[in-house]
Amino acid sequence: MKRLLTYLVIGTGICFAACTAQSKTEVQDDRLATLETVIQQSTDQYKYLKEILPDQRFPKTYHANSDKLETSGSGWWCSGFYPGSLLYMYEQNQDKELLEEAERILSILEKEKHNTTTHDLGFMMFCSFGNALEIAPKEAYKDILIQSAASLSSRFDENVGLIKSWDSKEGDYLVIIDNMMNLELLFWASEETGDPKYKEIAITHADNTIKHHFREDNSSYHVVNYNPETGEVTKKHTAQGYSDDSAWARGQAWGLYGYTVMYRFTKDQKYLDQAVKIANFMLDHPNLPADKIPYWDFDAPNIPDALRDSSAGAIAAAALLELTTYVDQPDSKRYFDDAEKMIFSLASAPYLAEPNSNGGFILKHGVGHIPENTEVDTPLTYGDYYFLEAIKRYKNQLN
């Protein structure tokens, strides 16, 4: 009888483990199926967007109240996200119409490889041609990216030790936290050419950003102004956040993503530590909503009625999924679970656009620049791009 009970206990344990494993597999299958539906819906949205997009123009946002698509030229900092999004979807469903449209718009974007008036060439060229080189490669893309890295590097000043973000009046040297996102292009260029100068610029920029952009609570300022002659900090303030001392949500996401990338390329522990500090600031913040999609600023005055920023959620989700691969448990599980929550919040109402709506964009409720009253509670190309990137990374990790 004792032996029989032992067998029953063992058998029950095996059954419970098998049933639990099966249940987990079924849940994962359901989630993957949901994301396949999202990718197909997103494909349909971008095919519609392609049809209404004027020739030689890039999508910027959509104004629902006037049913108007707002576009830009190739020199706008967001120009790389449209081809990048097309390529991410093509990679997942092999729809040739998406690739054809990506290659069409890339031919218009190519001239920006010589643009030395912006720090955003990483966004513009690596999110587009960099993805193209990986997903649908052509040899010409390498030369385009190398020239883009050279153009970006021209904005680095050894006196200050940083890449200038915005051109301004004499005596200003403005650097924004967003600039961390453009360093990946420089690391790629050093690996491709064997020239260490690009990597050295990226490291110097990242080190000085750690020194001057972050507060004791690990949140970041949006803008730091330096004296171009001495490199000394003259002012720390915001442009797109609520106040100079507030934590603008997308800025925190840019920093999280940027330092995760820095660790990927250097394996320097200080960059991983910085990424973890930023992640914990965001995820532990009392003003982070239950669905994990941040308010546009963690210190917005009208929380809980403040606008959410779907783009900040998408960027953070993509960054957290990479960060999970560099940290130990329990942090790895925590970051994965929170990224998963962000993705599936974005993959449903009220963030995911209904079919044949939203001007063809995928996500609703992005926030661009509240202080200037531009792109407020609208779709944003970078929100779509990082949402698709987060889906890609999530699916890869599950598989």
Question: What 8-state DSSP symbol labels residue 122?
Answer: I
In Å, how far are 82, 342, 383 from 376, measured between CA atoms?
A: 20, 20, 13
**280: enclosing H helix or E strand:** helix 269-284
CA 54 from chain centre, in angstroms, equals: 26
Q: What is the CA radius of gyration of the chain?
A: 22
Neighbours of 362 (CB within 10 A): 29
Hey, how many other C-beta atoms are within 10 angstroms of the C-beta on 33? 10
User: What type of residue is 118?
Assistant: T
**Catalytic annotation on 120?**
yes
Which run of H or E residues covers position 187?
helix 183-193
Closest by CA position to 280, among listed 247, 245, 310: 247
Q: Do residues 39 and 92 lie in contact, with contact meaning Cβ atoms separated by under 8 Å?
A: yes
Q: Is-contact 147 126, C-beta < 8 A?
A: no
Name the nearest CA neighbour of 212 among 269, 248, 255: 255
Distances, alpha carbon 176 to alpha carbons 102, 122, 219, 236, 248, in Å? 29, 14, 13, 10, 12
The Cα-based distances of 255 to 189, 210, 218, 302 in angstroms read: 21, 10, 10, 25
Whether 328 is catalytic is no
Q: What are the residue ranges of helices labelled H in 70-129?
A: 81-93, 96-109, 121
Considering the candidates 29, 44, 120, 297, report the single residue annotated as catalytic. 120
How many residues can be counted in the chain? Answer: 399
CA distance 120 to 122: 5
Up-side HSE of residue 178: CA atoms within 13 Å toward CB? 26
Catalytic pick among 67, 167, 172, 178: 178
Instruction: Please give the full DSSP string across 210-279, using - where no structure is assigned.
Output: HHHHB-TTS-B-SEEEE-TTT--EEEEE-SSSSSTTS-BHHHHHHHHHHHHHHHHHH--HHHHHHHHHHH
In a 10 Å sphere around its CB, with 0-12 CB exposed, 13-18 middle and 19+ buried, how is residue 89 labelled? buried
Active site residues: 120, 178
